[in-house]
Structure 1
């Protein structure tokens, strides 16, 4: 037990807060936002989606490439019947420059571009939803440490009281006021209290590890949470707000829009394509003074008539995926509404439980004091005193859990309505701008261009972070 208490003390000492004093919930949320690897992971996925737009845009831009070859020929040429022969050994070099530009493809490329843009918007909303999850977990971790710490304090206080009760029972046994049974009851209750304290200390260790994982450091001296956030009192209004603004709903809507565009793109892929093509080439013969420069410009027109049904299959697959995304939107809508309803119910339940526990504590404290006083006069047994003490402890433990659950439920309702973000909470953090990287890459900057060099600096900064 002593080693266990020493471990608890070590965790609390190593996790002391900054010199500025006690740590607030806002401090924990800021640290969780800056520490989260989950946010970093999904930001990288968003940047990958941004690059899909640049890749799709490239289909409508000119393509310029070069080609070259070196050819070595050898042999002899003989004129029939003359007995005369000559060598045909030689080396030639061909260099070519080819340029192509898509003029028309039935709108397939433009539709693909718009679909990837919708996917980017969906990924941005997914990132916002991840942000909500990170912040909510930080709230739960913060309240978990407070709840576990208060529970340990209650158990320690209960242990002190039961130790006093046991000492009093032994004194009364010595003078013949109580039996050996009363002393055994007090000893058993004290042993149970020690077991309960060990369990509470274990819960505190677990809460500390959760806090360290989420926030990035061990908890210091935590301030009581601020007043509850304004979550509204109208369930139907909260559900309507969630359907309009929750990032999961917006992401699902963008996914439906992207699927609709991909259906049109699959149908457009069956249309003719028109491509402007230009070519310029140089041929140099090393064993001859002759050389040639040639160039050509032309328009290629073509259309796939039959390809084993692949284009039709692609169109049908796009339709099926569109139907799946529409069904997903239906599912997300009802899930969001249910989450709001569940969070609202949890909030009401926690608030009612907290109010009831306060009344229960007042009554249990009065009862405990009365029973203990009556026991000194011989009107109550030791068992009565121990039962009254246990009832008070249970009421206080219920209050601690209810207070933590109330805050968790309130912030869960904020998340269910899509309002648990750093912007809504007005947290002092350097927020991630999802449009900054998109604006750099959407036009597909060349590696050696000015914009490409700026993009390289951004990438190096991201890798350093």
Structure 2
């Protein structure tokens, strides 16, 4: 049994030494790899690019619209003079153009509303970035604590094996009874079971790490909690001003307000410039240029319904902003409390370990003198094991809680953590498409190169 467990431990240890990570990982290494490998970030960057195109489409509505057409007709009619059938063929080529001159701000308001959507989507991307990085922190700490649990269980099994052998030796010379040997044997079997469970937990933690980080783990190093020195009141105040979920909700409210103004403007007249140039099969050319003005009179209540709809959307966005603010403040409070609990637990477990180690060494020494039983030694060893287990769990919880507090405040980003990665610039694509460039322009060519590079990633 011991050989099989040792083999399992070797297999898990080898998984730590996978080809992508031959050296020990720092938390910064893991977070950097997460940022570079995250498919979820790539997905939301694509959503942001789609939102950027909304601005380009709104801008396009303010530019000239030019279309071409070619029509061919054959007409057969009866000549009133001769009574015979006459066939007439005609071909007409036409280029038409239309340009909005004045629309009471409908198109301009549409552009501004789409810009708010873009800004909100950028904040949503920041929120996803925080979620991805926090998951990586949790995965990193779970691998580290699971690895320490395995080592602790291995040490525990070695100690209990020694106690079991000592009990057997003392039984053979008549110092203890068969009960003492059975107790030690039962504890040894329990230790083997706990070791197998810890190894299974480590294997699961490694799988989660691979998904969260994008590659296998190296040997995780010791990690200190993230520096968080604010009081809970300061943390909440900062979060309300800077958390991406709140900023996203604020931009949604602004977009809704602009859409209300746009819906009202849509009920007013529109002035446009239009014209055409045409030629037929006989090279007869014609052209026309004119100005037209018009607006809605009656559309079955459609425009008023659309106005009420966007007003309802505005009310929903305001309520969402209020609820999001409450949720963020709650997250800060929970994270702050979790951090304080973890800190207190770690400090208490360290004191417990010191006392339990003194007690264990004393009980074991007294047992060699015959004043303590095997059960006393096993219980003392279990007390020490529990204390060390609590410390490992508390250390992991403290680190995770500190980074969760950063996330609740809106600070768990590669920029704030100063990670050594090339950061994604959300404005780069926007600047290329915001003016609705044509395919033949220099901006259009640059955009093609960007899209080609994105497609290769």
TM-score, length-normalised on structure 1?
A: 0.95
1:238 aligned partner: 235
Deviation at 1:85, TM superposition (A): 4.1
Deviation at 1:372, TM superposition (A): 1.0
Q: How many residues align?
A: 453
Alignment partner of 1:376 is 2:378? no
Distance across 2 between alignment mates of 1:4 and 1:393: 22
Distance across 2 between alignment mates of 1:407 and 1:298: 70
**Aligned match of 2:135 in 137, 140, 143?**
137
Structure 2: which 5+ runs fail to align?
none
1:410 aligned partner: 402
Question: Are the counterparts in 2 of residues 274 and 300 from structure 1 also a CA contact under 8 Å?
Answer: yes
Alignment partner of 1:5 is 2:2? no
Alignment partner of 1:302 is 2:301? no
Over residues 394-449 of structure 1, what are the superposed CA-to-partner deviations in whole Å (9 max), with x where a residue is unaligned?
00000001011111111111111111111111111111000000000011111122
Distance across 2 between alignment mates of 1:200 and 1:234: 37
How much is the aligned-residue C-alpha RMSD, in angstroms? Answer: 1.3
Over residues 253-293 of structure 1, what are the superposed CA-to-partner deviations in whole Å (9 max), with x where a residue is unaligned?
111000110111111111111111111111225xxxxx532
Distance across 2 between alignment mates of 1:369 and 1:6: 30
Distance across 1 between alignment mates of 2:46 and 2:21: 32
**Aligned match of 1:386 in 378, 401, 408?**
378
Over residues 22-57 of structure 1, what are the superposed CA-to-partner deviations in whole Å (9 max), with x where a residue is unaligned?
221111111000000000000000000000000011
Over residues 314-358 of structure 1, what are the superposed CA-to-partner deviations in whole Å (9 max), with x where a residue is unaligned?
000100000000000001111111111111001100000000000
Structure 1: which 5+ runs fail to align?
286-290
Deviation at 1:4, TM superposition (A): 3.1
Deviation at 1:16, TM superposition (A): 7.0
2:263 aligned partner: 266
Which stretch has the larger CA shift, 300-309 or 395-404? Answer: 300-309
2:100 aligned partner: 102
Deviation at 1:13, TM superposition (A): 3.1
1:275 aligned partner: 272
Question: Are the counterparts in 1 of residues 58 and 110 from structure 2 also a CA contact under 8 Å?
Answer: yes
Give the secondary structure class of the aligned counterpart of 1:282: strand
Distance across 2 between alignment mates of 1:308 and 1:376: 98
1:176 aligned partner: 174
Question: Are the counterparts in 1 of residues 20 and 215 from structure 2 also a CA contact under 8 Å?
Answer: no
Distance across 2 between alignment mates of 1:202 and 1:210: 13
Which stretch has the larger CA shift, 27-36 or 3-12? Answer: 3-12
Question: Are the counterparts in 2 of residues 137 and 214 from structure 1 also a CA contact under 8 Å?
Answer: yes
Distance across 2 between alignment mates of 1:149 and 1:304: 71
Within a 5 Å distance, the mapping from 1:65-104 to structure 2 comes to: 65-79=67-81, 84-85=82-83, 87-104=85-102
Question: Are the counterparts in 2 of residues 15 and 220 from structure 1 also a CA contact under 8 Å?
Answer: no
Give the secondary structure class of the aligned counterpart of 2:217: coil
1:288 aligned partner: none
1:14 aligned partner: 18
Alignment partner of 1:29 is 2:66? no
Question: Are the counterparts in 2 of residues 343 and 416 from structure 1 also a CA contact under 8 Å?
Answer: yes
Over residues 202-224 of structure 1, what are the superposed CA-to-partner deviations in whole Å (9 max), with x where a residue is unaligned?
11101111111111211112221
**Aligned match of 2:251 in 240, 249, 254?**
254
Deviation at 1:360, TM superposition (A): 0.2
Distance across 2 between alignment mates of 1:346 and 1:90: 87
Question: Are the counterparts in 1 of residues 226 and 403 from structure 2 also a CA contact under 8 Å?
Answer: yes
